[in-house]
Amino acid sequence: QVQLVESGGGSVQTGGSLRLSCAVFGYISSSGCMGWFRQVPGKEREGVSSIATGGGSAYYADSVKGRFTISQDNAKNTVYLQMNSLKPEDTAMYYCAFRYGPYCSSDYWNTKRFPHWGQGTQVTVSS
């Protein structure tokens, strides 16, 4: 059974930084994709970034390119999302998720393709 646990959310001012962590418990395939998604009330969950667990190729939504960095520490079974230059529009509940298979680009960010999800961590950016 795979369990994902997010942490690191909080409240910051515009321009601030946060690092989200997603700890993975249980076995996940080295041929898979870890993704970060976010959701605000009344809107659909949207993909933010993803990383291939086997090769480390990373992908980003246009809205966060140059500001967010995804990384993984295989020894700690943890995936990180470093978020810099935060904006009020980044305010959302952030979720990490895992899907099997090597395809990890934004073309594969359909939430229905990800069977494993964390509980979410809230990020609030004030102006």
Q: Is the model's pLDDT at 30 over the cut of 90?
A: no
For 12, half-sphere exposure in the C-beta direction (CA atoms, 13 angstrom radius) is 20
pLDDT of residue 47: 98
Pairing of strands 46-52, 116-117: unpaired
What confidence tens digit (pLDDT) does each residue in 38-48 have?
A: 999 999 999 99
Q: Is the model's pLDDT at 56 over the cut of 80?
A: no
What confidence tens digit (pLDDT) does each residue in 65-102 have?
A: 999 999 999 888 999 999 999 999 999 999 999 999 88
